[in-house]
């Protein structure tokens, strides 16, 4: 009603949000098996782009940073993607080219280099595909979870990922996944729906104007690993991307991206190896020049409805912040940041 009655147009015209809105997508594909809530369907993404084309100025991350320095900016949007899934190339890239929109892709390097699943996709694959009726994580300081049916498997997946955030398992993630493979008697192999981008695809998109940034080597939560490993994750990923792409890599996105997932020492490391800015997944609009704490609105299935005309309306109204004010909520603090690591008691539902 807000969108199609004309009220949206009035609010958008006379009460535009000052600053730059940075959108964070992950996957553009079928949501049937999206147990991590990282994907939106292709048609919904198309609906989002229609709204952006009609009502906003879509700018590159570099241009947005320049505009932020001027401190006089409204209705400007940056489109970003995290992780490096292949559907970014097969499904998102053609639509973004159609609209002529600039965008930024933050790449997790090792899964792309080795064509392997991201580690949390490995855990998901093992939990969903196993025929075992439980998983015992006590050797890693976590409990036993039942896996007797799909509902229990999905619940166990979310609880495991939530607990990993507070568990020193990142330093031995390979051991953790191998232990799961042995215990659950199946393999965390890649599949067509979860394949990662290739460097050749990255080079093609970069030549077409896509900005490529780093999302670490292995997607750990940086605040949970040792400082020497932090340096390696952020510096080596930059070096490897620059070597493969033969272009500077100036921007970074923090894995998971919550405020507790990085600190001032990590920011100092980013600056010292030559990054010019870094994106979080802290919801909000950017209106200052704090370039290593850039806020982003995470886009997930909460921005998708069952019909295209409703998806357009939902996305458009959410972009204005009308519902935030009407429902007296912050900028989707609980809903809009599709993070891999929900808190164990977050109530996240599959």
pLDDT at 336: 45
The answer to the question of residue 349 being in a domain is: no
Torsion of CA 85, 88, 90, 94, to 10 degrees: -170
User: What is the reported pLDDT for 70?
Assistant: 82
Q: Are residues 106 and 216 in the same domain?
A: yes
- Is 212 domain-assigned? yes
For 80-132, what is each residue's pLDDT tens digit? 999 999 999 999 999 999 999 999 999 999 999 999 999 999 999 999 999 99
**217 and 176 fall within a common domain:** no
pLDDT digits (tens, 9 = 90+) for 38-79: 999 999 999 999 999 999 999 999 999 998 888 777 789 999
Residue 10, both tokens = 């009035």
What confidence tier does 340 reach under pLDDT thresholds 50, 70, 90?
low
Do 309 and 259 belong together in one domain? yes
Determine contact, residues 191/82, Cβ cutoff 8 Å: no
CB of 299 within 8 A of CB of 79?
no
pLDDT band at 11 (very low <50, low <70, confident <90, very high): confident
Mean residue pLDDT across the chain: 90
- Do 168 and 56 share a structural domain? no
Which range of residues forms the domain containing residue 128?
119-184
Both 103 and 245 in a single domain?
yes
Is residue 170 in some structural domain? yes
pTM: 0.92
CATH of the domain at 255: 3.20.20.370
Are residue 224 and residue 82 in the same domain, yes or no?
Answer: yes
The encoded tokens of residue 313 equal: 């309306």
| Confidence bin at 167 (pLDDT 50/70/90) | confident
**Whether 232 and 294 share a structural domain:** yes
Q: Is 237 helix (H, G, I), strand (E, B) or coil?
A: helix
> Both 101 and 163 in a single domain?
no
Residues in the chain, total: 350
Which pLDDT tens digit goes with each residue over 200-256? 999 999 999 999 999 999 999 999 899 999 999 999 999 999 999 999 999 999 999
Domain membership flag for residue 69: yes
Residue tagged 């490529």 (tokens) = 212
On whether residue 97 sits in a domain, the answer given is: yes
Q: Provide the domain count of the chain.
A: 2
Q: Could you count the other beta carbons within 10 Å of the beta carbon of residue 150?
A: 12
| Per-residue pLDDT at 337 exceeds 70 | no
Contact 73, 18 (CB under 8 A): yes
Specify if 282 maps to a domain: yes
Query: Which tens digits make up the pLDDT trace of 278-293?
Result: 999 999 999 888 999 9
Query: What would the two tokens of residue 227 be?
Result: 């400082």
């Amino acid at each position: 009603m807000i969108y199609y009655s004309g009220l949206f147009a009035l609010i958008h015209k006379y009460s535009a949000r000052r600053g730059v809105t940075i959108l964070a997508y992950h996957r553009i594909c079928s949501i049937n098996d999206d147990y991590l809530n990282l994907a939106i369907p292709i048609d919904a993404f198309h609906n989002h782009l229609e709204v952006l084309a009609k009502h906003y100025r879509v700018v590159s991350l570099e241009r947005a940073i320049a505009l932020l320095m001027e401190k006089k900016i409204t209705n400007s949007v940056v489109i970003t993607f995290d992780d490096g899934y292949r559907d970014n190339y097969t499904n998102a890239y053609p639509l973004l080219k159609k609209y002529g929109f600039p965008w930024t892709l933050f790449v997790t390097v090792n899964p792309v280099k080795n064509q392997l699943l991201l580690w949390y996709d490995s855990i998901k694959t093992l939990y969903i595909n196993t025929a075992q009726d439980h998983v015992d994580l006590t050797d890693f300081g976590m409990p036993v979870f039942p896996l007797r049916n799909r509902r229990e498997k999905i619940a166990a997946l979310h609880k495991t990922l939530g607990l990993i955030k507070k568990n020193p398992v990142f330093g031995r993630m390979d051991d953790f996944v191998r232990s799961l493979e042995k215990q659950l008697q199946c393999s965390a192999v890649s599949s067509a729906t979860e394949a990662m981008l290739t460097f050749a695809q990255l080079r093609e998109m970069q030549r077409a104007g896509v900005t490529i940034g780093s999302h670490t080597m292995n997607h750990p939560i940086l605040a949970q690993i040792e400082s020497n490993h932090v340096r390696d994750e952020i510096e080596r990923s930059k070096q490897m991307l620059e070597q493969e792409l033969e272009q500077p890599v100036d921007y970074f996105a923090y894995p998971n991206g919550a405020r507790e997932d990085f600190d001032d020492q990590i920011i100092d490391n980013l600056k010292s190896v030559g990054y010019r800015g870094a994106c979080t997944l802290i919801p909000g609009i950017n209106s200052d020049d704090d370039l290593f704490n850039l806020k982003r609105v995470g886009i997930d299935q909460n921005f998708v409805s069952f019909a295209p005309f409703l998806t357009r309306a939902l996305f458009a109204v959410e972009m204005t912040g009308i519902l935030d004010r009407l429902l007296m909520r912050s900028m989707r603090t609980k809903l809009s940041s599709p993070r891999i690591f929900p808190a164990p008691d977050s109530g996240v539902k599959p």
